[in-house]
Amino acid sequence: MSKKSGAVPHHIAVVMDGNGRWATRRFLPRVAGHKQGVESLRRCVKACAERGVGVLTVFAFSSENWNRPADEVSGLMELMVLALGREVPRLLEDGVRLHFIGARDGLSERIAAGIAKAEAATAHNSRLVLNVCFNYGGRWDIANAAARLAQKGEPITEDSLNRALALAHVPDPDLFVRTGGEQRLSNFLLWQSAYSELFFSDRLWPDFDEAALDEAIAAYHGRERRFGKTSAQLASPEARTLHSAA
């Protein structure tokens, strides 16, 4: 383990906030902001793959977002259907493996089928793992994992719970990014972000471009990740030897 973070985080998690405000400032319906947000996500996926990021996890629709106005929710659902049909060929070409994380109940049959089809189509890709958290909440994730362990009669420990969580197929995020100027987690990856480096950007998500991503990565590179240890411990010959061996 080195004193400073590696140049590129292996796993970046993003709360894509600010679509509605971006649209409102332009006197557009909020759904127009979400459409522009899809364009920003496409850029971010491509940029992460080019920079050697291994995993990108994005917060697309929270379990609390069902409480938004009905027309916005229906617009988001329709946008999801359109995006699945349009983006999967591009993801296939770019070597991106798609995972949808969240509760499937409550989704329409058309969306659930589209999600399953997209996951199956990209299952053999390995350049970048893209986790789309849709109908997801961090508390739901933890409670769901604990319930599954209890149902199987397994002891609930940190290790067993970690294996039962929805993101068990990837390491925890190294860098947690939130756009839109807010500085809170908003029920996103509560367990997995325990030791993530946090980066808050004032840019609204549709304006988050490659330069903004590089700014977040540069900030990460300057952080000291101690994981409960001291700076002196990380600077010890033993720690440097372990890092070199890794």
Q: Are 175 and 11 in contact (CB under 8 A)?
A: yes
Residue reference for tokens 């793992």: 129
* Pairing outcome for strands 11-15 and 96-101: unpaired
Q: Fill in the DSSP letter of residue 224.
A: B
Q: Are 174 and 57 in contact (CB under 8 A)?
A: no
Cα separation of 90 and 98, whole Å? 12
Q: Are 7 and 51 in contact (CB under 8 A)?
A: no
Q: ∠ CA 198-202-207 to the nearest 5 degrees? A: 110
Cα separation of 149 and 128, whole Å? 30
Q: Which of 67, 126, 66, 64 is nearest to 91 (CA)?
A: 126
Q: Give yes or no: 174 in active site.
A: no
Instruction: Please identify which of the residues 65, 125, 162, 187 carries the catalytic annotation.
Output: 65
Cα separation of 76 and 44, whole Å? 20
Number of other CB atoms surrounding residue 120 within 10 Å: 10
Give the tokens for residue 246.
């890794």
Straight-line distance from the first to the last Cα atom of the chain, in angstroms, rounded to the nearest whole number: 8
Q: Give yes or no: 172 in active site.
A: no
Catalytically annotated residues: 17, 65
